[in-house]
Amino acid sequence: MTRTCIIVDDEPLARNLLSEYVRKVPELELLKAFGNPLEALNFLRENKVDILFLDIQMPGLSGMDVVKRLQSDVMPLVIFATAHDEFALQAFDINAVDYLLKPIDAAGVERALDRARERILTRGASVDAKGPV
């Protein structure tokens, strides 16, 4: 099954590199890569996305602010991609799937996606066990 994702990072080089890695994953469809967190937030309010790659420090809104402002019945799985290790504990407090430190490499992205796949399977199993919500 194909899963969808978006990337939110204000740094063009980081955004382009992460986009390149994601496009090589056959079961993952990159819907859009955003440089502006407000535009991404508006997109997320209108579109269902399975996985959200998110930088932490961006002008206007931080990655944490984006997650806090997102109000969705099914929250996307969040993978932070940042140069700032001091936010890792806060990221896991909000149930992030992974926390990738820049410079990001293909192996790190694949590990993060493996964790996301596990969460998706677990999420599906708990919905199946409980029946329709």
The 10s digit of each residue's pLDDT in 3-57 is: 999 999 999 999 999 999 999 999 999 999 999 999 999 999 999 999 999 999 9
Amino acid at residue number 129: A
pLDDT in tens, 70-128: 876 668 999 999 887 776 667 767 788 999 999 999 999 999 999 999 998 887 654 44
What is the predicted pLDDT for the residue at 127? 44
Lookup: tokens for 37? 């967190």
pTM of the model: 0.87
Handedness of CA 79, 70, 93, 87 (dihedral sign): positive
